[in-house]
Copies of this chain bind each other. A is one copy, B any other.
Amino acid sequence: MQTRRKLGIPDEDFIQSDKVPGPTKEEIRVVTISKSRISEGSLVVDVGCGTGGLTVEAALQVAPKGKVFAIDDDEEAIQLTESNVKKFDLENIVQLICGEALEALVNLPEVDAIIIGGSASLREVIRASYQKLKMNGRLVVNAILLETAYEAVDEIKKLNLKDLDVALVFVAKGRDVKSGTMMLARNPITIISATKA
A interface residues (Cβ-Cβ under 8 A, vs B): 4-8, 26-27, 30-31, 33-37, 39-41, 61, 120, 144-150, 153-154, 164-174, 176-177, 179-188, 190
Contact = CB atoms under 8 A, between A and B. Distances in A.
Nearest to A189: B183
Contact of A26 (B4, B34, B173, B177): B34
A30 B169 CA distance: 13
Ranked nearest first, the 5 interchain pairs of A and B with the lowest CB-CB distance are A8-B34, A166-B174, A185-B185, A147-B180, A150-B150
A6 to B, nearest CB: 5
A177 to B, nearest CB: 8
Q: How many copies altogether?
A: 4
A interface, over-half SS:
mixed
Contact of A150 (B35, B120, B146, B183): B146
Contacts of A27: 31, 34, 167, 169
A183 B187 contact: yes
B8 A6 contact: no
A57 to B, nearest CB: 9
A197 to B, nearest CB: 15
A183 B168 contact: yes
